[in-house]
Amino acid sequence: MRSIGDVEVANKKIIIRVDLNLPMIDGKIIDYTRFDKTIPTIKYLLKNKAKVIIISHLGRPKGGYEEKLSLKFLVNEFKNSIIDKNIEFANSIKDAREKIKKNDLLILENLRFNPQEEKNCLNFAKKLASIGEIYVNEAFSCSHRSHSSIDAITKFLPSFGGFLLLDEIRNLSSLFNNNKSLTAIVGGSKISTKLDLLTSLINKANNIIIGGAMANNFLKANSINIGKSLYEKNMLDKAQSIMCEAKEKNCNIILPIDAKIAKELGENFSEVDINNITSEYSIFDIGNKTVNLFSKVVMNSNIVIWNGPMGVFEYPPFDQGTNMLAKKIAELTNLGNLTSVAGGGDIVAALNKANLNSSFSYISTAGGAFLEWLEGKELPGIKALH
Ligand code: ADP
Ligand code: MG
């Protein structure tokens, strides 16, 4: 894939697709991670005398302009982050085409105010492309979507991968392209949303550690009484067949051996052996013995990939299982004994909350795209750059 670093950008109008779909509450940005990550590439382009048009979506507009989803507020955010540069706002493609003649830096209004964006519409992509001369995809986290600004636009302009996007792909590719011992940790709530993930991992990983509510399906399929714990009734056969397939492929599936249980969240909890759960109780986290068991597996691995928390981490003490396992992984990573990767919305939130994110080798903020990559799917936005 061609990198934007390999092409002459001076005096060129560059359209850069970034992910500024920032987490917000009441109109305020609550996490700047994605925003901050876009700055170095934009600075690089400006320093090399390019003209830059920033494009992104925000939220899910219902098919037209919505004031609270306008990207206009980002003008000030960029002014504070990009030194010595005037940034202009363009409220339409036509407006952008005019303004980029006189300005070096523009941000275009929310792409999704135009319903054609999500339809991967060639006509819309062509109009979008007419603003610039080169296209850069710097939004790995949006690259699992076949949308005009990700996919169709590459048909009309010379297209390149941004530094961030290439970095993410390099990091993820290196996980599978070696003979090292690989352990996947899969948790979270719903097995039905992660069937493709588990099936794909069976073929790539030496071990799959299963925790969270995800594990309940497997425990129940093994005839263990899980009381009132969350599980999916119509998934028990699936869980069974995943375990059989894993056995055939020499992939170890490791399940919890004890649990933190309570009648309800917020009520008294206790820690019991997995065979001693009674019918009024629910599993809300893995227990200490399980943390030790999972840690041992991790200690004997070279690479760990983690998606989905081990318990209801939003309600302490049911964050302990996730936190203790994360601490162990952080320790091994800091010692240089382990490559550790985590990705997905909730596990990243859990690691942030426990202040352990910087001790992992790599954290992917690209929820859906990260998962589809792990599932072995080809991402339309990445394919389009080839
Ligand atoms: P990710 O976003 O990392 O992919 P998921 O969205 O699949 O993770 O799952 C996260 C959710 O799973 C969290 O809200 C967490 O509370 C829930 N969860 C984890 N373990 C349990 C459990 N034992 N019972 C009920 N919910 C659980
Ligand atoms: Mg989630």
pLDDT digits (tens, 9 = 90+) for 226-250: 999 999 999 999 999 999 999 999 9
Give me the pLDDT at residue 357, please: 87
- pLDDT tens string 180-229: 899 999 999 988 989 899 999 999 999 999 999 999 999 999 999 999 99
Share the mean pLDDT of the chain.
Answer: 95
Span from the CA of 188 to the centroid of ligand 1 (angstroms): 3
Active site residues: 34, 190, 345, 368
Ligand 1 atom with the smallest distance to the CA of 343 is: 3
Which residues are placed with Cβ below 5 angstroms of ligand 2, an ion?
Answer: 345-346
- Ligand lying closest to the C-alpha of residue 287: 1
Per-residue pLDDT at 84 exceeds 70: no
Strands (E), 9-123: 13-17, 24-25, 28-29, 51-55, 88-90, 105-108
Cα 157 to Cα 7: distance, rounded to the nearest angstrom: 13
Give me the pLDDT at residue 284, please: 98
DSSP code, position 82: S
Q: What percentage of the chain carries pLDDT values higher than 70?
A: 100
Strands (E), the chain: 13-17, 24-25, 28-29, 51-55, 88-90, 105-108, 134-137, 159-161, 182-186, 207-210, 252-254, 258-262, 269-273, 282-286, 303-307, 339-343, 362-364
Span from the CA of 311 to the centroid of ligand 1 (angstroms): 6
**Lowest pLDDT segment from 10-19, 58-67, 108-117, 365-374:** 365-374
Give me the pLDDT at residue 286, please: 98
CA atoms within 13 A on the CB side of 171: 22
- pLDDT tens string 23-82: 888 888 888 888 998 999 999 999 999 999 999 999 999 989 999 999 999 999 999 888
Give me the pLDDT at residue 106, please: 97
Give me the pLDDT at residue 231, please: 96
Ligand 1 pocket, Cβ-based, cut-off 6 angstroms: 187-189, 212-213, 230, 283-284, 307-309, 311-312, 314, 344-347
CB of 133 within 8 A of CB of 14?
yes
Per-residue pLDDT at 111 exceeds 70: yes
Give me the pLDDT at residue 176, please: 84
Give me the pLDDT at residue 70, please: 96
Give me the pLDDT at residue 141, please: 94
CA atoms within 13 A on the CB side of 232: 18
Give me the pLDDT at residue 266, please: 92
CA 147 to chain centre: 18
Q: How confident is the model at residue 301 (pLDDT cuts 50, 70, 90)?
A: very high
User: What does the block give as tokens for 130?
Assistant: 């007419």
Give me the pLDDT at residue 246, please: 98
